[in-house]
A and B are shown apart, each in its own frame.
Chain A
Amino acid sequence: MSEEMTAVRKIVRDQTLSFKQKEHALAVQAENMLPYPLLDAETRAALDARIICDMYEGHAPYKPRYVLPDYAVVLSKGSAYLELPVPTTLDEAINTLMIAYHHVPSVTGMPVFIGHLDALLLPFCDGVSDDELYRKIKLFWRYLDRVLPDAFMHANIGPTDNRVARTILKVDAELKQIAPNLTFLYDPEVSGEDILRLCTDNIIACSKPHIANHPVHAATFDARGYAIVSCYNALPLCGGASTLTRINLKKVAEASADEADFLNVQLPRYVALNARLTRARVDYLHKQSGFFQSSFLVEEGWIERERFTAMFGIFAMAEAVNHLQAMAGKAGRYGHDSEANALGARISALLADLVAREPMDNVWRGAAMLHSQAGISSDAGVTPGVRIPYGEEPDPVSHVRALLPHHQHYASGVSEILTLDETVRGNPEAVFQLAKGALAMGFREFTANVAGNDLVRVTGFMIRLSDVKLYNEAKGSRTNTTSLGAEAAEVVGILGRKPRVVGLELAVGAVG
């Protein structure tokens, strides 16, 4: 039997996957029987060596990696394709959204973005009592977790302090579900400290929400807006990202003779090769797959083809810097030594500059967006994005200060997690102060895990530690992301660390 058939049979017979999960895995397998989009030999070699990486998205991109529909369209106009009238009540609005989600593709097959829920639902809340709102949101939340059980699915709330946002925070802390993931868009001028405090209290309860620096993100995008989706990717609303490719900075450093060679020769070279890989994938999606030509989402204006960017990821910054330091005979380590940290910041600035100089067709604003990428669950011996390696993290304040210079350069987001010792439960004000400080200093996003929570982040997505335990006992898991977490836990040993924060993100073929 061919290798491909063996792989297919292995999926079919797997007893830990649900039939839905099998369908998805089989689809990935079938897609990969097709030839890869045409690459030149140099790019192909870099991809085969995994110095550059396509996230194992598949050989024939037939849907964008991330789709961020403007759900206000279906709520204000209804949908001819879905035969949906314009909703007039809160029940109708929620029902319309629940239907809409099933028609939004992504690399996982489940929507990675489910809307700025407070802004979408507030117009339907006049005359709805607080108790009714609470009960409806609670049912909605249960539906999302049970029917679309993927922690990459992301809801946004804020920047205003409003009753829908507050109800969502209340329900989220109460249910402690994996899905949906949640981001509060914080604007100190608009949000106020009360709701920021609610958010940091929720972080102590369930490690959610993630808090995005709204003024910083808003300035990166345009009037049409943006959203935070999946693993803290900031992308244009009414658009998304066609693809995500990434560079393994550790491997680039290992291919370099010294720091100068890395900065002047090798890094520009691999940025150029990764750009070629990106162009090939974007080109296939836009010109050959027929997605934008046939999707009703485009026809009805939920998304616009011109608003799809390409994400240009990097990872293993820590290992790259430490390798360059070692080659120069310097002991200072990334995250702790000011010279090493300054080198890291220089690399990020150079990356932003190089990526901006790579023109891209069929990409929003004509260039890819730099992203500090969270890793995939099969990565070993490397640290996600620009993070400080597991177990070497300094205290949270030093941690934020060490990474701050990077944040300005990563227009499509920085996947970062601060791990907080459990003692912080006795002093929630400290988490509030930390978040406020980090955001005031210019951190793009504030994400924290409190050790001891059953619910923890495997980088961007959430898993339950108890689920990982069950999965490892071969009982399978209802949620897609648990299997990724379990793989990450085994490959990288991430659950063994004292603060039980896990840091690798993505399974082969899944989301970033």
Chain B
Amino acid sequence: MADGDARGAAEARGALTAQVSKILTWSVVDGPGNRFVLFLQGCTYRCLACHNPHTIGQCDHCGACVATCPSGALSLRDGRVVHDPAPCTSCDTCLRTCPINANPMVQTMTVADVLARIRTAQAFLTGITVSGGEATMQLRFVSALFAALKTSGDLRHLSCMIDSNGHLGPRGWASVLPFTDGVLLDIKAFDPDRHRRLTGRSNERSIASARLLAAAGKLSELRLLMIPGETDLDAEIDALTRLVLDLSPETRIRLNAFQHHGVRGEAREWAKMERDGVERAAERLRAAGVKHVAVPTVWLP
């Protein structure tokens, strides 16, 4: 394809829109260096332990949040909930009100909108990470955004990463990987029943994604959220070990510790994951030959 055609195609993709829950221009926990993070609304999973549950649902314009908003930032117009950022104080009352874990503050953005935002922070960025929710639910947008970045003159040096639960199928990955530098993949649990109970879905596709991404050289990091009595069990750690050794002992592993912040519902009653248990699991992985195991840098009191 000639350069001009590539640019033309990229511009056509510019008309695509995404439902954006939040944007950060400073993140040190979503990949290497400082990341511009685009949190996309909507998720394929319904994780009990989700610490961003307000990113799960898509707004159905029921209007419940309009009634509880203390600053008058929300209104119903033509049957749709409309958010006005000017009076909004970011108190998040609407998030607590929403019966379906959606977010009325979500913005609709085009690829061009996102590029403009990236450009304002460009000098400070190592790369961009799309997260969620489950970012791959808006795969066409992600592909278009990454393609636009990779064909731009001024932003092509930024690395493009996806934070995903791996529920995406092989065809989906095939469409986005050519523009993607790496994927940060969460596997929520290895025991199939446990995974279904914790997320509402089977883990077959997630584990298949780990293999596919590793084979493509795009698996930047494999993550396990450790929950006491669930995913901190030796059986889970050993299953993780087997998968990693099968993929490559060089695979980067990150163990995260379940905490209560942001969590809703029954998971609030669960015990928090303590440091000792995470360190023990990390040692178990290392002893089995896994080369790169990261644990949380900071432990909340």
Contact = CB atoms under 8 A, between A and B. Distances in A.
A396 interface: yes
Contacts of A437: 34, 123-125
B33 A426 contact: no
Interface residues of A, number: 24
Nearest to B24: A395
B25 interface: yes
User: In this complex, which of A401, A433, A440 has the most chain B Cβ atoms within 10 angstroms of its Cβ?
Assistant: A433
Interface in A404-440: 421-427, 429-430, 432-434, 436-438, 440
7 contacts: A421-B298, A423-B29, A423-B297, A426-B297, A427-B28, A433-B125, A433-B126
Contacts of B24: 395
- Chain B, interface size: which category? 10 to 19
Interface in B243-285: none
B157 to A, nearest CB: 11
A47 B24 CA distance: 45
A397 interface: yes
A388 interface: no
Main secondary structure, interface of A, reads helix
B29 A398 contact: no
B124 A400 contact: yes
A438 B123 CA distance: 7
Interface in B281-301: 294, 296-298
Contacts of A430: 26, 28, 33-34, 126
A502 B33 CA distance: 26
Interface string A477-509: 000000000000000000000000000000000
A424 B25 contact: no
Nearest to A441: B123
Contacts of A429: 32-34, 126
6 smallest beta-carbon distances between A and B, as pairs:
A437-B124, A426-B297, A437-B123, A429-B33, A395-B26, A430-B34
Given A421-B28, A436-B123, A437-B123, 6 more contacts: A397-B26, A422-B298, A424-B28, A433-B33, A434-B34, A440-B123
A430 B126 CA distance: 7
Given A432-B33, A438-B124, A423 B26 contact: no
Contact of B124 (A426, A433, A452): A433
Contacts of A401: 120-121
User: In this complex, which of B26, B296, B298 has the most chain A Cβ atoms within 10 angstroms of its Cβ?
Assistant: B26
B26 A396 contact: yes
Interface in B102-153: 120-121, 123-126
A344 B123 CA distance: 23
A82 to B, nearest CB: 48
Contacts of B29: 423, 426-427
Nearest to A394: B26
A500 to B, nearest CB: 13
Contacts of A400: 124
Interface of B: 24-26, 28-29, 32-34, 120-121, 123-126, 294, 296-298
A397 B25 contact: yes
B123 A427 contact: no
A423 B298 contact: yes
B297 A425 contact: yes
Contacts of A452: 298
A208 to B, nearest CB: 20
A395 B37 CA distance: 13
Contacts of A427: 28-29, 32-33
A401 B120 CA distance: 9
B160 to A, nearest CB: 16
A397 B123 CA distance: 10
A436 B121 CA distance: 12
Contacts of A441: 123
A434 B124 contact: yes
B118 to A, nearest CB: 12
Contacts of A426: 28-29, 294, 296-297
User: In this complex, which of B29, B120, B124 has the most chain A Cβ atoms within 10 angstroms of its Cβ?
Assistant: B124
B124 A397 contact: yes
A395 B25 contact: yes
Contacts of B25: 395, 397-398
A433 B26 CA distance: 10
Interface string A371-411: 00000000000000000000000011110110000000000
A423 B28 contact: yes
A437 B294 CA distance: 27
A422 B121 CA distance: 22
A145 to B, nearest CB: 29
A430 B159 CA distance: 13
A426 B29 CA distance: 8
Contacts of B124: 397, 400, 433-434, 437-438
A427 B33 CA distance: 6
Contact of A422 (B32, B126, B297): B297
A418 to B, nearest CB: 10
A187 B222 CA distance: 38
User: In this complex, which of A425, A430, A452 has the most chain B Cβ atoms within 10 angstroms of its Cβ?
Assistant: A430
B241 to A, nearest CB: 22
A438 B124 CA distance: 7
Interface in A435-465: 436-438, 440-441, 452
Contacts of B123: 436-438, 440-441
A153 B25 CA distance: 35
Interface string A264-277: 00000000000000
Given A423-B28, A430-B28, A434-B124, A397 B294 contact: no
B33 A397 contact: no
B85 to A, nearest CB: 12
Contacts of A423: 28-29, 297-298
Contacts of A438: 123-124
A424 B33 CA distance: 9
A95 to B, nearest CB: 43
A398 B26 CA distance: 8
Nearest to A399: B26
A246 B82 CA distance: 48
A397 B121 contact: yes
B173 to A, nearest CB: 26
A74 B15 CA distance: 68
Contacts of A398: 25-26
B176 to A, nearest CB: 24
Nearest to A438: B124
A438 to B, nearest CB: 7
Nearest to A398: B25
A214 to B, nearest CB: 17
